[in-house]
Amino acid sequence: MDTTASEIKGYDYGKTAVSPVSLQELELLKATVLFTAADEENLRKAGDVLTEQAEAVIDIWYELVGSHPHLLFYFSKNNMANLEYLTAVRKRFVQWVKDICHRPFDQTWLNYQYEIALRHHKIKKNKTDEIEAAPFVHYRYIITFIYPITATIKPLLAKKGHTPEEVEAMHQAWFKAVVLTATLMTYPYVRAGEF
Ligand code: HEM
């Protein structure tokens, strides 16, 4: 049975602090990645394709993290990966795939991107699941992770009979959305006033 969002432990969408980034600034970021109304539509379409494959999406990313000790490090303590942690985060990650495609990029969405940022930073990492692991994810991997979570999505977008042009349009929209969210995730890492 599908887990509903409200049953996911630690998934606090709509209940988190207000983002320090304003909606006007978000609009300028959207303009900067050339995110258009057509992208919005293509992202929804991508969401329809990816929602039923969300577990497969996360399998691919977890395989990637699991096969790179320097990434698994962030889910580990004393070189031991914490399975409870990986499992708890996985559910929220699946939800994120659905959210990024289907939720409007409004104030609530913006606020949750800030929460995700804090959960990678030493301010809040490990707190949601009350575990002990690496104290924060290094900034450099937030940026570099954009590539794998973009590249690995394309074959999945192509699985539901869309034309190559449609797949490309959905992929571009996904790429832009990931760049936006990753940019918002860097906020706590940047010196005050310089974001
Ligand atoms: C573009 C880059 C990334 C995106 C979009 C992303 C997205 C996410 C999302 C959506 C969550 C769950 C948020 C929630 O609690 O609702 C999460 C949690 C987490 N991610 Fe990432 N992530 C990125 C990069 C990374 C990298 C490079 C690592 C290193 C392996 C990493 C490690 C983690 C960890 C350890 C958590 C759990 C944090 C906690 O203690 O709450 N992430 N990420």
The structural domains of the chain, with segments of one domain joined by +, span 14-189
Q: What is the pLDDT of residue 85?
A: 97
Is the pTM value of this prediction over 0.85? yes
Q: What is the pLDDT of residue 2?
A: 47
Which phi and psi angles does 81 have, rounded to 5°?
-65, 140
Which phi and psi angles does 80 have, rounded to 5°?
-110, 115
Q: Return the ligand 1 atom nearest residue 182 CA.
A: 1
Residues 79-97, buried b or exposed e (16+ Cβ, 10 A)? Answer: eebbeebbebbbbbebbbb
Pocket test for ligand 1, best of 113, 116, 147, 184 (most atoms within 8 A of CB): 116
Residue carrying structure tokens 């991997």: 141
Q: Are 85 and 129 in contact (CB under 8 A)?
A: yes
Distance 163 CA to ligand 1 centre (A): 32
Instruction: Summarize pLDDT for 86-107 with one digit per residue, the tens.
Output: 999 999 999 999 999 999 999 9
Pocket test for ligand 1, best of 120, 147, 153 (most atoms within 8 A of CB): 120
Nearest CA to ligand 1 atom 29: 71
> What ranges make up the beta strands (E) of 35-120?
76-77, 80-81
**Per the CATH hierarchy, to which homologous superfamily does domain 14-189 belong?**
Globins (1.10.490.10)
